[in-house]
Structures are given as structure tokens and as C-alpha cells.
């Protein structure tokens, strides 16, 4: 559980700093895999 939360936070931080939409798309797909 803690691992998923950590990955989620890291993903959100990466998406927030990334300017490319592709990165955010990849993040969304990774998050959907975790759910």
C-alpha cells in the first residue's frame, strides 16, 4: 500500500514538472495499471 502511494506521489510530481503531454499520458496509463 505504501509503495503504491509513493509511486502515485512521484508520478504526480513528475506530471506537474513535465511540460510534455506524452509524459502525463504515460503517467495516467501507469496509474490506471495500479488501480
Report DSSP letters for 1-35, one per residue.
-HHHHHHHHHHHHHHHH---HHHHHHHHHHHHHH-
User: How far is Cα 16 from Cα 14, in angstroms, rounded to an integer?
Assistant: 5
How many other CB atoms sit within 10 Å of the CB of residue 27?
A: 19
The more confidently predicted of residues 34 and 6 is: 6
The per-residue pLDDT for range 1-29, each reduced to its tens digit, is 688 889 888 877 877 665 556 666 777 88
Task: Give dist(CA 24, CA 3) in Å, integer.
Answer: 20
State the pLDDT at residue 1: 67
Please give the Cα distance from 27 to 9 (Å, whole number): 11
Per-residue confidence band for 30, with pLDDT thresholds at 50, 70 and 90: confident
Q: For residues 28 and 35, which has the higher predicted lDDT (pLDDT)?
A: 28
pLDDT at residue number 22:
67
Amino acid at each position: 500500500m505504501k509503495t503504491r502511494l509513493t509511486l502515485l506521489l512521484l508520478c504526480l510530481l513528475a506530471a506537474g514538472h513535465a511540460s510534455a503531454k506524452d509524459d502525463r499520458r504515460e503517467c495516467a496509463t501507469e496509474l490506471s495499471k495500479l488501480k
